Chains A and B, each alone.
Chain A
Amino acid sequence: AQSVAQPEDQVNVAEGNPLTVKCTYSVSGNPYLFWYVQYPNRGLQFLLKYITGDNLVKGSYGFEAEFNKSQTSFHLKKPSALVSDSALYFCAVRVGPDTGRRALTFGSGTRLQVQP
């Protein structure tokens, strides 16, 4: 079984401040972890993924995420938030290496609101 928890429904941050969106996961095996962003009335857009290797993963739009195996976490971060970062963010996981099951399990989403 695999699951993802995003403990915060909403995160508020001032423009220019660092932001963190939290994600914890549970899988029976090695995790493959993803972050997606959804803007209003749009589909989800891929931001970044962790497969193996360096625990700090860099992605699109200046976002990065840190994989922490002991805490089973994969928090999304950005050093300086922009108002345009305001959106809904989803963490997702699937077990790896390949077991034939390619589907992702998504978290419930966290709404990021960046105030000017």
Chain B
Amino acid sequence: DAGVIQSPRHEVTEMGQEVTLRCKPISGHNSLFWYRQTMMRGLELLIYFNNNVPIDDSGMPEDRFSAKMPNASFSTLKIQPSEPRDSAVYFCASSLYGEGVYEQYFGPGTRLTVT
């Protein structure tokens, strides 16, 4: 299995531009999580989906952030307009959802720099 795939791996953009981060979860996994990691705030959960439905988006910083999961194999995290304080590493993770307790598998992350 290829694991969780994220693209792009690095993104540099100017303030005010729209940024779209993409994630392909592990095949067969039906829970998907978006995290943000910074030195100041550590690892923060932004939003997660079960069976393509958003369950908890309380971690999304503000209305500039939006996430979608149109099908079981693809999710996007969009920032519009971007700001320098959005600079961080964004991780996508996936897991099984159902009976049992399953660990999350993380992608390699997207390093976002907003200038």
Can you name the residue of chain A whose Cβ is closest to the Cβ of B33? A103
Do residues B106 and A102 form an inter-chain contact, with CB atoms below 8 A?
no
Can you name the residue of chain A whose Cβ is closest to the Cβ of B105? A46
Do residues B45 and A32 form an inter-chain contact, with CB atoms below 8 A?
no
A21 to nearest B CB, angstroms?
15
Q: A43-B91, A49-B103 are in contact. Are A102 and B4 (CB under 8 A)?
A: no
Give Cα A34 to B101, complex, Å: 11
Verify if B50 is at the interface (C-beta below 8 Å from A): yes
Question: A32 contacts which chain B residues (CB < 8 A)?
Answer: 101
Do residues A43 and B106 form an inter-chain contact, with CB atoms below 8 A?
yes
Interface members, chain A 76-102 (any B CB < 8 Å)? 90, 96, 100-102
Please encode chain A, from 48 to 66, with 1 for each CB lying within 8 Å of some chain B CB and 0 for all others. Answer: 0101000000000000000
Interface size on A, residues (CB 8 A): 23
Interface size on B, residues (CB 8 A): 22
| Interface segment out of the listed A10-18, A67-75, A104-112 | A104-112
Q: A32-B101, A46-B103 are in contact. Are A104 and B45 (CB under 8 A)?
A: yes
Give Cα A18 to B72, complex, Å: 43
Q: At the interface, is chain B mostly helix, strand, loop or mixed? A: strand
The 8 Å CB contact of B108, one of A43, A51, A105, is A43
Do residues A102 and B97 form an inter-chain contact, with CB atoms below 8 A?
yes
Q: A32-B101, A44-B91, A51-B101 are in contact. Are A106 and B106 (CB under 8 A)?
A: no
Question: A49 contacts which chain B residues (CB < 8 A)?
Answer: 101, 103
Give Cα A108 to B37, complex, Å: 10
Can you name the residue of chain A whose Cβ is closest to the Cβ of B111? A41
| The 7 nearest A-B residue pairs measured at CB | A43-B106, A46-B103, A44-B106, A106-B43, A108-B42, A51-B101, A43-B108
What are 6 contact pairs spanning A and B, CB under 8 A? A32-B101, A34-B103, A102-B31, A103-B56, A104-B45, A107-B42
Q: Which residues of A contact B (CB under 8 A)?
A: 32, 34, 36, 41-46, 49, 51, 90, 96, 100-109
Q: Which residues of B contact A (CB under 8 A)?
A: 4, 31, 33, 42-43, 45, 48, 50, 55-56, 91, 93, 95, 97, 101, 103-109
